[in-house]
Every structure is written in C-alpha cells, then in structure tokens.
Amino acid sequence: MSRSPAVPKHLRGSWADILTPTADAPPFHPDQTAQLPDAARRWLGHAIAAGTLLRRRIEMRQHGQIKIAGRWWPIRCRQALDPLRGYVWPVRTSIAGLPLIGFDLLADGEAELTHRLLGVIPVVHVQEPGLVRSAAA
C-alpha cells in the first residue's frame, strides 16, 4: 500500500472549504507560551521560530498502523484539518490483502464515518447526532 487515498468526490467541497486560507494570523512570540507548562513552552519555543505566522489549517499525509479486530494493519491517509471548523480524513488500509477504503468527516455541524471493503461493500456507516459530539471532542 504505497499511495494516499483520494478525497472522495462528494467531500471535495468540504476539503477545499476547510483548507481555504485564513486571514494573516499574528506572528508567534515566545511570550504567548508563558502560561503553559515548562515542557510545552520549551518545545514550542524550539519548534516555532519567533515571527512565524500562526496558521490553524493544515493538510497532512499520514501512515502507520491501525488496530482492527485485534490485529494491526498498515494505513495511509490524508487529512484536511481546521480544529475550529472540522476535518476530512480519507483513509486506506488493507485487511488480509483486501482494500478497506473510507473516510471520517466533521464539517458544517455534521459528522460521518464510512468505510467499505473493496471500496463497495459497506463495513461501517455512521451518521448520527452522537457522532458529531464524539468527532468534535
């Protein structure tokens, strides 16, 4: 499994909306971390150069493993994330050699989890109010 999953066509509007650039953010200054625990303050001071514009939207590519039915399986995913507005998380894994393709979504006050074996056989489909609370947490 070498490639990241595509963003499903019906989620491309949400993907683009989440990644729409924000207005220029204030630049980072180490004083902004004064109220944090020492370890967090030191790490942020090391990781973010003074003067860096602070943005809150990001597109990430991820890989690793996910535990399904008691076993670890390889996973590839992408994510459009704005912690204040939501996320779109297309994901791809392979279980016993069969592709499991799906997405998790939190956008515009709605949440959905949909994952399909071979891209067509429903394995998980959840879209209910409780999921919105869970996804937002």
- pLDDT at position 26, please? 80
Q: List for the chain the helix, strand, coil content (%; round to 5).
A: 25, 45, 35
Read off the pTM: 0.75
- pLDDT at position 94, please? 87
Q: Label residue 136 exposed, middle or buried (CB < 10 Å: 0-12, 13-18, 19+).
A: exposed
Ordered per-residue pLDDT tens for the chain, 137 residues: 557 788 999 999 999 999 987 777 788 999 999 999 999 999 999 999 999 888 778 899 999 998 888 999 899 999 999 988 899 999 999 888 899 999 999 998 889 999 999 989 999 999 888 888 888 77
Q: How far, rounded to the nearest angstrom, does the alpha carbon of residue 39 sit from its chain's CA centroid?
A: 25
Asked if 107 and 118 touch (Cβ cutoff 8 Å), the reply is no
Instruction: Identify the helix (H) or strand (E) that includes residue 108.
Output: none
Q: DSSP 3-state assignment of 102?
A: strand
- pLDDT at position 12, please? 93
User: CA 14 to CA 111: how far, in whole Å?
Assistant: 12
- pLDDT at position 37, please? 94
